[in-house]
Amino acid sequence: MFYQVRRILVKEGYSDQVVENFSNRGGLLAQRPGYIGRQILVKKVRRGEEEVMVMVQWESEEDWKNWEKSPEHIAGHKAKPKAEKPEYIIDSSHDLYYVKG
Q: Is 60 within 8 Å of 34 (Cβ atoms)?
A: yes
Instruction: Show the CA angle centred on residue 31, arms to residues 57 and 85, nearest 5°.
Output: 65
Averaged pLDDT, 49-76: 92
The predicted pLDDT at position 81 comes to 63
| pLDDT tens digits along 14-58 | 999 999 988 876 677 888 999 999 999 999 877 889 999 999 999
Ordered structural domains, the chain, with CATH: 2-98 (3.30.70.100)
The predicted pLDDT at position 29 comes to 84
> What whole-number distance in Å separates Cα of residue 38 and Cα of residue 96?
14
DSSP annotation of 32:
S
The predicted pLDDT at position 72 comes to 85
DSSP annotation of 82:
-
The predicted pLDDT at position 26 comes to 62
Enclosing H/E stretch for 58: strand 49-58
> What whole-number distance in Å separates Cα of residue 100 and Cα of residue 1?
8
pLDDT band at 97 (very low <50, low <70, confident <90, very high): very high
Q: What's the predicted TM-score (pTM) here?
A: 0.84
| pLDDT tens digits along 73-91 | 888 777 666 667 789 999 9
